[in-house]
A and B are shown apart, each in its own frame.
Chain A
Amino acid sequence: MADTPSTTRVRTSIAEGICTVRAMMRHVMETGSRKDRQTGALIPAHHITEVTCEHNGRVVMSCAWGTGIARNPLLSFRFRGARAGDILTLRWVDNRGATDVTHVTIE
């Protein structure tokens, strides 16, 4: 999985040292209570469980998510102390152990 390109899109903007992060992840976020239309069997839950945002390697925001976050999740927040050129890293892991890592340069 490590070589899979990230499907997460992260946009940053910075003003007076405050960085605004807007991240869009690609994930089905399956609830586990939906039924397959053909077989009638329950479709197992499949969702992101943890998201971590690091600014130059330091965690500024981490999230514990369940199935109540919408498909293709969006996360937006702001943090203080950023400068242009700093690195923002966004990682997620899901309940099946799949992972995704995205690095962006803050600008």
Chain B
Amino acid sequence: MTKRLPVNRSRRRLLAASVSGVAALPVASWLFSRPVYAAWPRAAFAARTAEGALRELYGGAAIDPSDRILITLPDVAEDGAVVPLTVRTDLERVQSIVVVSEKNPVPLIARFDFGDGALTDTLATRIKLAESEHVIVVVQTAERLYSARRYVEVLIGGCT
């Protein structure tokens, strides 16, 4: 796993298209004319299963379970609309942390990209959970992908 992970599938497709010459031109102009927030992973957010979202994000690369990712979530969430989440990891060279829900209508919840100097010892936010389900956290380091999951019992769903 020394090769870079295939993060961006559309870029791959673009590369493939550029080999075939002229066909690449309209694709390229569309790609580069997009605004700064083009990095928002549209296809992954459009996925309707957690597996589909992860496939869109990582192109099917292997994701290893890790006990070095600590997910703090309530065992029971009374209100699925506001569920506090904290992620900590002591994995090194972290590039991004992705949060995916098992059963939300939009399984991908968020991707957090870490710049130089950003620490991975306390990342906190509040999420919505549609029903009792697992929350999956994937940590991408410079070398590979790791994941952990945690089950939350939800009393009132938070996605409708």
Contacts and interface: CB of A to CB of B under 8 A. Distances in A.
B111 A64 contact: yes
Range, interface on chain B = 35 or more
A interface bracket (residues with beta carbon within 8 Å of B): 20 to 34
A66 B43 CA distance: 12
A34 B159 CA distance: 8
Contact of B117 (A31, A50, A79): A79
Contact of B119 (A18, A33, A58, A59): A18
A74 B113 contact: no
Nearest to A95: B40
Nearest to B105: A33
Nearest to B45: A66
B117 A69 contact: no
A69 B99 CA distance: 10
Contact of B82 (A33, A58, A71): A71
Interface of B: 37, 39-41, 45, 81-83, 99, 101, 104-119, 121-128, 158-160
